[in-house]
């Protein structure tokens, strides 16, 4: 049995919150640079400004975006791991320290009704999965409101099929326009039920920008959707161009014979998430 001290968890969460806000993933930055090669005029200029912004943020350790998001935390905890205290308290303490000491914008309100700010960006949204082994994996995903607000879930019926799924995904991207700060990473969750499809779509955004779905049907759908989305001419920041999305990630799960749940979770070009394994 491995014992992990809550102070270690807190310090790692603090670090990840700051790094996720300030340091773009190298593969994501490379993907944006590759997209700039196929753009012209205004869209090319926009991507150049995004790249400059991200490089300044990394070099000067300041946020890429003023919206440093609500903190979504995915935890995978092995059955041989013992934590000497409350895991959720340790995570929230790390978020609090990360956002206050890292000078990140605090965007969380205590209630959606009274809108009083918590002043430290807590509580985080925490998802915990139990696994085998002696590892604790923590993934921090700060989710800005611009992209999150344009995300959608729809309960299709099986007769809608692949065509219905594609139409819903493309409709969601079209309705978002420039408000989700494209070029996007499009997370698609298919199957399960209402809440499971949304979680699948969120988890899809945690995948590496250059990976591909293992499932052959999902893999095919990712490629087709990426091509069709990029033909919409929404482009960088919604001002036209060939690059509306950098990637489409499709996660699937078994579902009821009478259901076809589909969720689309949009992520801005920063595609912010950081991981630690303890």
Question: How does residue 21 score in pLDDT terms, banded at 50, 70 and 90?
Answer: very high
pLDDT of residue 169: 98
The pLDDT of 9-16, averaged and rounded, is 98
Listed in sequence order, the residues at least 6 apart from 271 whose beta carbon sits closer than 8 Å to its beta carbon are 24, 25, 28, 185, 205, 209, 246
**Strand boundaries in 135-259, DSSP class E:** 136-143, 152-156, 184-192, 245-255
Domain ranges of the chain: 2-20+64-143, 146-271
Distance CA 18, CA 48 (A): 24
Reported pTM: 0.96
pLDDT of residue 10: 98
pLDDT of residue 150: 97
Which CATH number does the domain 146-271 belong to among 3.40.1130, 3.40.50, 3.30.1330, 3.30.1490?
3.30.1330
The tens digit of pLDDT for each residue in 218-243 reads: 999 999 999 999 999 999 999 999 99
pLDDT of residue 63: 98
């Amino acid at each position: 049995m491995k014992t992990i001290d809550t102070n270690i968890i807190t310090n790692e969460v603090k670090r990840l919150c700051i790094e996720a806000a300030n340091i773009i993933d190298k593969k994501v930055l490379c993907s944006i640079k590759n997209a700039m090669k196929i753009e012209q005029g205004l869209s090319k200029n926009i991507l150049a400004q995004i790249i400059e912004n991200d490089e300044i943020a990394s070099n000067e350790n300041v946020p890429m975006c003023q919206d440093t998001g609500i903190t979504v935390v995915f935890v995978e905890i092995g059955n041989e791991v013992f934590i000497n205290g409350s895991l959720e308290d340790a995570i929230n303490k790390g978020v609090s320290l990360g956002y206050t000491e890292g000078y990140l914008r605090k965007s969380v309100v205590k209630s959606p009704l009274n809108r009083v700010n918590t002043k430290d960006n807590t509580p985080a949204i925490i998802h915990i999965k139990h696994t085998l082994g002696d590892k604790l994996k923590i993934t921090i995903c700060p989710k800005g409101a611009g992209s999150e607000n344009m995300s959608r879930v729809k309960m299709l019926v099986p007769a809608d099929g692949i065509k219905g799924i594609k139409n819903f995904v493309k409709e969601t991207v079209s309705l978002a326009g420039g408000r989700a700060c494209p070029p996007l990473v499009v997370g698609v969750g298919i199957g399960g039920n209402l809440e499971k499809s949304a979680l699948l779509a969120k988890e899809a955004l945690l995948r590496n920008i250059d990976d591909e779905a293992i499932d052959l049907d999902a893999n095919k759908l990712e490629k087709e959707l990426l091509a069709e989305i990029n033909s919409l001419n929404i482009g960088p920041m919604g001002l036209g161009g060939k690059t509306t999305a950098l990637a489409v990630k499709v996660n699937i799960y078994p579902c009821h014979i009478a259901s076809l749940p589909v969720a689309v979770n949009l992520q801005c070009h920063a595609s912010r998430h950081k991981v630690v394994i303890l």
